[in-house]
Amino acid sequence: MAAALSSCCTSLFSVRLRYSHTFRPITSLRATLSSNPKSSSNRQKEGGVHGVVVSGQRKKQSNSKDDRDKKVGPQPASSKSLGVSRKDKDVVVESKDKQVEPNNLQDSAFLNAVVKVYCTHTAPDYSLPWQKQRQYTSTGSAFMIGDRKLLTNAHCVEHHTQVKVKRRGDDSKYVAKVLARGINCDIALLSVENDEFWRDVEPLRFGSLPHLQESVTVVGYPLGGDTISVTKGVVSRIEVTSYAHGSSDLLGIQIDAAINPGNSGGPAFNDQGECIGVAFQVYRSEEAENIGYVIPTTVVSHFLTDYEKNGKYTGFPCLGVLIQKLENPALRASLKVHSNEGVLVRRVEPTSDANNVLKEGDVIVSFDDVRVGAEGTVPFRSNERIAFHFLISQKFAGDVAELGIIRAGTLMKAKTVLNPRVHLVPYHIEGQPSYLIIAGLVFTPLSEPLIEEESEDHMGLKLLAKARYSLARFKGEQIVILSQVLANELNIGYEDMSNQQVVKFNGTRIKNIHHLAHLIDSCKGRYLCFEFEDSYVAVLEREAVAAASSSILTDYGIPSERSSDLLKPYVDSLESGQPSDQEFGDTPVSNYEIGSEGLLWA
């Protein structure tokens, strides 16, 4: 069965799908936007769908019989500029009393707030990190939210060099500035300085999370024409959803309205003309039709509040634990858990603050006094339940959460600071990739874009296993690989060593590429000794390397032997007492490998 989640930004070049299974959590199948057969950094990532299905109607919240059980509802957009205010924790939406009649949709004022986005992208070449790939263009959608700002999808303006927007019925394009990009929530904030662009237009107002089966109207500029497009459907499902671009799990709205390439970043409206979310991806399958996804206003509100509070986007936090459901009565009994509740901690990320308070074998039974069920869900609205991860996504980076823990049969409380996850192998790279060239040996950190560009077949199973499953032991840790060998007069003979991990230099274990550059610059001995995986060793004479560097750069037209970030002084990020010769972490099992009933990250 061919199935994929794909983002909906349309390229002016061809769109083609590549089907390949990956082992990292959240990703499944990928779509590729390509300007030429060689270019592969134009890809829009895709992910599989998982999570707990939410059903039922929204009612007034009531207390649970269990005094630890608290109903959890969605947090609405909170910025005053968005036309939303709060009162007693309930949503008070400033909206029109009269519904928008379908016959009058053509003349509805809110359609004029939806604009078309034109973006020119120039992505890095991860195989040749000192240069850029050929530029390509794409179109998407955006809409005005007040305070002279626009919202669109992050993947619509990824690796942007120029962004322009055009209003409905206008023949002029206006230059837009990207203020912030939230990669994991796939939202970007734009601004336009030209006063003419904002004349005689009313920004959209946000509504609250809709009911199931409520009507929804998606507006944007998809392929098939240049004018605005309107499609209508209903809300099919509300659950924690895999976000394809950000490889993250956040609340999402599933709808059956048509969403096509170019709809990305466009708003979805309810019958009152309120924006209830942002269209961003679709589910492609031979066995399913009309499955589209909308980013709800709760996620949009989190993005905007984060930006307003910090002056930049800091991201959604995580708890940093691998958890297992406790539906097995025998497993609960062995852990001395006497009620049908809690999730088992199987692994704790070394870089998370939870590593200071949680241990393997602990059972998390509550999060901020909200009871966690044995199937890994928490109460949501009325008569509904949702994945435990939803509670974590409501927090901001640096927030403190109180956990209820059962350890060896004893109930205790513990507080932990929530921060964004530190990925050993990043999903996205902002700006130029780091690289270091030593006598034709090209070193670069391993990243998901590099794996995609090189193709998984060329990376080696052992390296892919580390990339997909290993955890960073400390902030700043990287897997540094020899990506290729440039032929030169030294005839070093290591051409078959491409895509091998370098683990030591002159006997010292490598922490990251900046550390490698520092060790090479500090070397005063005669030889440069690189130790790779499987005990392979490459040795170069230091004086011969220095003499050959200039000619190698000239022959290949490379502007510098290293990226600009490696010109800065090296600062050791390894905490005191951390064993420098410790091997990379073990390989935790992904819930995408063993199924949704297994393990999952929180």
The structure tokens 């950000």 sit at 246
Q: Report the distance separating Cα 572 and Cα 345, nearest Å.
A: 31
CA distance 189 to 529: 47
Per-residue exposure over 548-557, b if at least 16 CB sit within 10 Å of its own CB, e if not = bbeebbeeee
> DSSP label at 67?
T
Q: Per the structure block, which two tokens stand in for 258?
A: 């048509």
Q: Other CB atoms closer than 10 Å to residue 134's CB: what's the count?
A: 13
- Would you say 261 and 222 are in contact if contact means Cβ atoms under 8 Å apart? yes
Measured CA to CA in angstroms, residue 1 lies from 72, 284, 285, 287, 559 at distances of: 36, 10, 7, 8, 47
* SS3 label, residue 411: strand
Q: Which two tokens stand for residue 65?
A: 């019989």
Task: Give yes or no: 121 in active site.
Answer: no
CA gyration radius, the chain? 26
- Residue 370 tokens, joined: 């909200």
Q: Which helix (H) or strand (E) holds 320?
A: none
Catalytic one among 264, 301, 447, 563?
264
**How far is residue 57's CA from residue 211's CA, in Å, rounded to a whole number?**
6
Q: Which helix (H) or strand (E) holds 591?
A: helix 591-594
**Could you say which of 69, 125, 186, 249 is catalytic?**
186
CA 122-128-133 angle, to 5 degrees, is 20
Using the structure block, give the residue that is written with the tokens 């750069």: 553
- Rounded Cα distance between 63 and 198, Å, is 47
| 264 catalytic per annotation | yes
CA distances from 329 to 290, 332, 360 (A): 39, 5, 19
What is the spatial distance between Cα 34 and Cα 36, in angstroms, rounded to a whole number? 5
Cα separation, 47 vs 280, in Å, equals 13
Q: Which of 155, 159, 428, 518 is catalytic?
A: 155
Which spans in 355-447 are helix H?
389-393
Which letter does DSSP use for residue 388 in this model?
T
Long-range Cβ contact pairs of 96-105 (< 8 A, separation 24 or more)? 96/272, 96/273, 99/271, 99/272, 99/273, 100/269, 100/271, 100/272, 100/273, 105/217, 105/230
**How many residues in total does the chain contain?**
602
Map residue 453 onto helix, strand or coil: helix
Specify the pairing of strand 215-220 against strand 160-166. unpaired
| Whether residue 362 lies in the annotated active site | no
Count of C-beta atoms within a 10 Å radius of residue 413: 11
**Residue reference for tokens 């592969």:** 40
Nearest one of 574, 587, 475, 455 to 518, comparing CA atoms? 574
Q: How far apart are CA 600 and CA 532, in angstroms?
A: 32
Judge whether 398 and 415 are in contact, CB under 8 Å: no
By annotation, the residues acting in catalysis are: 155, 186, 264
